[in-house]
Amino acid sequence: MDCDIKEVCRNIRCDTVMSIGRLGVGHIGGCLSVVDLLAVLYFEEMRIDPKQPRMAGRDRFICSKGHAGPAVYATLANRGYFEKDLLLTLNAGGTNLPSHCDMNRTAGIDMTTGSLGQGFSCAVGAALGSQVEGDGATIYTLIGDGESQEGQIWEAAMFAAAKKLDNLIAFTDCNGYQIDGAVAEVNDVAPLADKWAAFGWHVIDVAEGNDPFAIKDAIERAKRNRGGGKPTMVLLRTVKGCGVSFIEAMGALNHNAALSEEDACRAVAEIRGV
Ligand SMILES: Cc1ncc(C[n+]2csc(CCOP(=O)(O)OP(=O)(O)O)c2C)c(N)n1
Ligand SMILES: [Mg+2]
């Protein structure tokens, strides 16, 4: 798509904070760390049609860290899947936008997620299914660095390599924090690049994980790897809460934080630079 990707990122960030601000609480840190990835995927990389969310042979995105739902919804609304007004119904009674992703409620959501580890397995299954069908789709999935502690991740990782799923491009949001502290202190997952390589994956390490141009470059490299018989893991070194200084400064406390509408407006002003 022909677009100003930095402006797309700003729009998605603003809509994410406003929806969480309306609700009053949410997974703001882990939403803001993945906005740049979502923008690049939905606006530049994925073969999708917002008017046909279930189009056969489309590329899929499975957000295994399902608590980043609000950022995915803001991305989908900006991309034209549904009206932006809906974003202000986040997790309200009867809404089609629950705080975690639900494929049976929301246009554009490819898998129901929220129980950490499971979405990644579903993505591996979708990649295998796509290869069996021969529909040429690329399957994208996103896990958290804390989520990487789940045993289920490594079972699926082993299976994906064994089945040579080179149509699968996964990302780890390496923001350094999980629900109650620093990943390195709670249960260190490092060295992630060595672990994924040992599991038979092609690994790309992106130092600037919140730079949409660096993300796009990594995806292009992953796509060139297709035919090589290995799935790709892109490690994105991100900042939890990226783009809003007072949320970044909270560290682990920004995982599932209270956010008033006033705070949200303050965040929007910073994102917009006004
Ligand atoms: C199986 C499972 N256990 C616990 C939780 C509760 N939980 C939600 S988010 C989270 C922390 C995840 O950390 P990370 O993957 O690093 O997420 P991020 O930093 O990107 O928000 C936890 C423990 C869950 N959703 N699923
Ligand atoms: Mg994390």
pLDDT at 69: 98
Q: Which ligand is nearest to the CA of 147?
A: 1
Q: Are 210 and 248 in contact (CB under 8 A)?
A: no
- Give the pLDDT band of residue 1 (cuts 50, 70, 90): confident
Query: Distance from the CA of 67 to the center of ligand 2, in angstroms?
Result: 11
What pLDDT shows up at residue 2? 83
**Domain 5-272, CATH number (from 3.30.200.20, 2.60.40.10, 3.40.50.970, 3.30.720.200):** 3.40.50.970
- Ligand number, closest to the Cα atom of 142: 1
Give the position of tokens 């202190």. 185
The tens digit of pLDDT for each residue in 3-51 reads 999 999 999 999 999 999 999 999 999 999 999 999 999 999 999 999 9
Q: pLDDT (tens digit, 9 = 90+) per residue, 44-85?
A: 999 999 999 999 999 999 999 999 999 999 999 999 999 999
Cα-Cα end-to-end distance for the chain: 28
- Mean pLDDT for 212-222 is 98
Tokens of 50: 């917002």
Q: What is the pLDDT of residue 32?
A: 98
Q: List the chain domain ranges.
A: 5-272
* Alpha-carbon span 245 to 247, nearest angstrom: 5
Is 176 strand, coil or helix?
A: coil
- pLDDT at position 192 is 98
Q: What is the CA(179)–ligand 1 centre distance, in A? A: 6
d(CA 274, CA 269): 5
Give the tens place of pLDDT for each residue, 175-215. 999 999 999 999 999 999 999 999 999 999 999 999 999 99
Which mutation among 120, 143, 178 tests ligand 1's pocket best, with the greatest number of atoms within 8 A of CB? Answer: 178
Q: For residue 72, what pLDDT is reported?
A: 99
Mutation pick for ligand 1 pocket among 64, 67, 148, 171 (CB with most ligand atoms within 8 Å): 67
Q: What is the pLDDT of residues 111-155, one digit of tens each?
A: 999 999 999 999 999 999 999 999 999 999 999 999 999 999 999
Inter-residue contact 38 to 10 (CB < 8 Å): no
DSSP letter for 179, please. T
- Ligand at minimal distance from the CA of 66 is 1
**Average pLDDT of the segment spanning 257-261:** 97
Cα of 67 vs centre of ligand 1, distance in Å, is 8
Counting ligand 1 atoms within 8 A of each CB, the residue from 102, 121, 147 with the most, and so the one to mutate, is 147
Whole-number Å distance, alpha carbon 225 to ligand 1 midpoint, is 30
Contacts of 2 (CB under 8 A, 6+ apart): none
Atom of ligand 1 nearest to the CA of 255: 21
